[in-house]
Amino acid sequence: MMPISFAASALVLAGLLTSTFLLMGRGGPSTLTPPSNDIMVIHVDEDPTTTGFGGRHLQTSTRKFKVLERVGHDGTSFVQGLSYGDDGKVYETTGLYGQSKVRRINPITFEVELSVDMDDRYFGEGSTYYRDANGNGRLIVLTWRERTGFIYGTKKLRKLREFKYRTTSPNHEGWGIAYDASREEFAVSDGTKFLYFWDRDTLAVKRKVTVTRLNGDEQGDLNELAYVDGLVCCNIWYSDHIICVDPLSGKSVREYDMSSLYPVSQGRDPDNVLNGIAVGVDHVLLTGKNWDRMYKVKFTDWPTLF
């Protein structure tokens, strides 16, 4: 979304390990003091009622991850959506009025293969690759305040369909979207604390959940999304944090502080936060707004991911 201010509040989780984790909202920035160890909180969720996965995921709050490779990226891209297709290609949407684009990126060179401009009246938002009921590769794209979405073919990035949607009143904005092939549904964020779930074929709302952090606090500013190992992983607007939530309960299961991935100390504009998650065959691809780079990473505490 467009740059806004944010507020920070502390999250303290007690157990064998007690650490401080940053919770981002809409006020001014705050710094996070690195803990003495990398794992900030880890405990096993033994209660199958707390997630839709019967406790198979660790509940984790950490800053541990492994960078496999840094690759190039167009530094003028105000990234709003990022996904891998099952064709191996990377699909990206960018924002800002008069600058919004739909793009296909080569997964080897990470150069832009094809780029299509959106109409100037639209502020491009989240997008995700999926296959429709007929098995065709498609890209669904949201817009910020226009309450309008589009479906593109993936071969030529030709616009095939336009649709209208409603999210949280009164603004009914579109922010992030991700696809779950197993349930044939999309998860959709609108910058609030809610995730909406749309049917793939009708785009009707099937349900919505309220997202809560590991400490039970509600989390707003949900931005770009990706399905990762059955969880909906959410970028948090104006933050370099990712939280991964159960799609049935909305409860956070995994929380990652990614601020060391591309720190402001390396010259990054602090307003250009992390905002792009795509799941590859053996890595997670991460980037941010106007970043001149992407990173292939692995989460070392997540053994079931690949």
Domain CATH number, residue 182: 2.40.128.630
Rounded to two decimals, what is the model's pTM?
0.83
Domain count, the chain: 1
Q: Three-state SS for 44?
A: strand
Angle (CA) 45-237-202 rounded to 5° is: 80
d(C-alpha 129, C-alpha 8), whole Å: 33
Residue 22 domain-assigned? yes
pLDDT at 55: 53
d(C-alpha 77, C-alpha 289), whole Å: 6
pLDDT at 207: 97
Torsions phi, psi for 265 (to 5 deg): -60, -15
Contact 60, 41 (CB under 8 A): yes
Residue 3 domain-assigned? no
d(C-alpha 135, C-alpha 131), whole Å: 5
In eight-state DSSP terms, residue 287 is: E
Residue 277 domain-assigned? yes
Contact 142, 175 (CB under 8 A): yes
Sequence-distant (6+) residues with CB within 8 A of 116 are 101, 102, 103, 152, 157, 159
Contact 39, 62 (CB under 8 A): yes
Residue 2 domain-assigned? no
Q: Please state, in angstroms and as integers, the Cα–Cα distance from residue 263 to each residue in 1, 148, 228, 257, 286, following that order.
A: 20, 34, 24, 11, 14
Contact 91, 82 (CB under 8 A): yes
Amino acid letter for position 284: V
d(C-alpha 123, C-alpha 146), whole Å: 8
pLDDT at 38: 47
Residue 1 domain-assigned? no
> For residue 144, is it left (φ>0), alpha (ψ between -120 and 50) or beta?
alpha
pLDDT at 6: 35
Residue 189 domain-assigned? yes
Residue 208 domain-assigned? yes
| Domain of 98, in residue numbers | 8-298
pLDDT at 304: 87
Instruction: Per-residue pLDDT tens, the chain, 306 aa: give them.
Output: 544 433 333 333 333 333 333 333 323 333 333 333 344 443 333 343 344 553 556 688 998 999 999 999 999 999 999 999 999 999 999 999 999 999 999 999 999 999 999 999 999 999 999 999 999 999 999 999 999 999 999 999 999 999 999 999 999 999 999 999 999 999 999 999 999 999 999 999 999 999 999 999 999 999 999 999 999 999 999 999 999 999 999 999 999 999 999 999 998 999 999 999 999 999 999 999 999 999 999 999 998 898
Torsions phi, psi for 264 (to 5 deg): -60, -30
Q: Three-state SS for 133?
A: coil
Residue 304 domain-assigned? no
